[in-house]
Amino acid sequence: MNPITSTPINAGTDRSTPSGRLFFLDNGAGRVLTANPGGSDLRTLIGEGREGPDEVVVAAAAGHIYWTNMGNLKENDGAILRSDLDGKNMITIVPPGGTFTPKQIKLEKKSGKLYWSDREGMRVMRANLDGSKIETLVDTSHGDLRPDRT
């Protein structure tokens, strides 16, 4: 598992956002961080010990950061969270149990959807940016929540 994932903001797309900053996760400590591309101005945005943050995506024009929390790998308690680019106004988009172990989150701007894979749930899922309309698009579990576990 990669302990740090980064997503750059596209420079110049929105003048109200910090152009060119990187946003990344510290999986071991459960933190969301930001820095300039060269590593200067390192800041912790979320330092609340979230369990298993795995992937981050930035919606620069909307001023939001979304990230997955895998949770406890033996429980169905994964979640997706969002905050403003400065780390304020953190909210839960997909509540614990709404997805098992979310990973590889992607933002589709045109439709306003978040897409992610659910490792232990063996699914590909999506939801609106506000967390409504959670859908399973592909399910390879054949109805067994964790078919590879006993």
Residue pLDDT, tens place only, 2-46: 344 444 443 333 444 445 899 999 988 889 999 999 999 999 999
Query: Residue 112: left (phi > 0), alpha (psi -120 to 50), or beta?
Result: left
Q: Give the closest residue to 77 by CA, choosing from 135, 146, 1, 28.
A: 146
The pLDDT score that the predictor gives to residue 27 is: 87
In the structure, what pLDDT confidence band is assigned to residue 49 with cuts at 50, 70 and 90? Answer: low
Percent of residues, the chain, with pLDDT higher than 90:
55
pLDDT at 78 over 60: yes
Residue pLDDT, tens place only, 122-139: 889 999 999 999 999 999
Rounded to a whole number, what is the largest CA-CA distance in the chain? 52
Q: What is the mean pLDDT of residues 95-102?
A: 90
Let me know: does 32 contact 44? Beta carbons within 8 Å.
Answer: yes
More confident residue, 42 or 74: 42
The pLDDT score that the predictor gives to residue 120 is: 84
